[in-house]
Amino acid sequence: MNDWKGWTIVLDPDDRPVFPPNVMIEVKALACELPFKRGIPLSRFSTAEIAEEVIQRGIVAQISGSTIWRWLNEDAIRPWQYRSWIFPQDPQFEQKAGRVLDLYQGIWYEHPLLTDEYVISADEKTSIQARVRKHATRAPMAGKCMRVENEYTRGGSLTYIAAWDVKRAKVFGRCESKSGIVPFDRLVNDVMSQEPYLSAKRVFWILDNGSSHRGQPCVSRLQKMWPNMVVVHLPVHASWLNQIEIYFSIIQRKVLTPNDFDCLEAVEERLLQFQDHYERIAIPFEWKFTREDLSKTLKKLSKQSEDLALSA
């Protein structure tokens, strides 16, 4: 018998202690607290630290981290994990993002796009390094994975600027020493100077708010050069709605990880070769997130924002 707080701890058939229900409730409540707000010098709890705190608070005399993990796992409570997040700041977030989502569905202001209208998603992937390993990478073999030397020297960096035709699954890209208005305009010229875009009725370009293509000055500049070009800006903090980011994630996994290049020229060569390779096998991304999904997500975020404001 355990006289701690008057509770009797018994064993289940597997010789594990069976705790009263309210102990489990208190443990889960503790796991949902931010430690530093209780004067505990931690940013996050581990199961072992929760067990120690539970004992120090006198909730139980003894408990294991594995027991606590089992309880938390029932409700998918994982205080040792965290993720970054941000609330939409643009009061017109839904309106601006909704236009882009409509374009992915082939709609512009409630009217279907015509056969000679196209949708392009574009952006820059900056600061791509050439890491020159001090020893050659070893290929995988039976019982051993690829081995990459940890130490390297820096061989410089470049910017990869790319555009993705949403419906045709065509990719255009170029490598530049740095990002900026002039390098970005070169990509636009690469795309718009060729068919079918040159003679298209309209070519919609979906862009975020990067410094080389931000705001009305960008709209005026590009539409002066290409009258059939329609610039559609995403709201701030909405790059996750830009389809070119999917292609960049593929580049990161397939080309840049692990980063092992003899020189910066080798980075450029592999990027452009992969671009040609990918285009031969590419199909349009299966984009399922719609304007209705966006509305639901924003309502959920609004509720979370209100809850945070009340708890502050």
pLDDT category of residue 9 using cuts at 50, 70 and 90 = low
Contacts of 62 (CB under 8 A, 6+ apart): 55
Compute the half-sphere exposure of residue 134: CA atoms within 13 Å on the CB side of its CA: 5
**Structure tokens, 103:** 């374009």
| pLDDT > 50? residue 1 | no
Q: Which CATH number fits domain 93-292: 3.30.420.10, 3.40.30.10, 3.90.226.10, 3.30.200.20?
A: 3.30.420.10
Backbone angles phi, psi at 270, to 5 degrees: -70, -40
Q: Indicate the pTM of the whole model.
A: 0.81
**Predicted confidence (pLDDT) at residue 20 exceeds the cutoff of 50:** yes
Say what the pLDDT of residue 308 is: 63
| pLDDT tens column, 42-89 | 999 999 999 999 999 999 999 999 999 999 999 999 999 988 877 788
* 132 pLDDT more than 60: yes
Q: pLDDT tens-digit profile of 250-283?
A: 999 999 999 999 999 999 999 999 999 999 999 9
CATH 3.30.420.10 residue ranges of the chain are 93-292
Q: How confident is the model at residue 310, as a pLDDT? A: 63
Residues 292-298: what's their mean pLDDT?
92
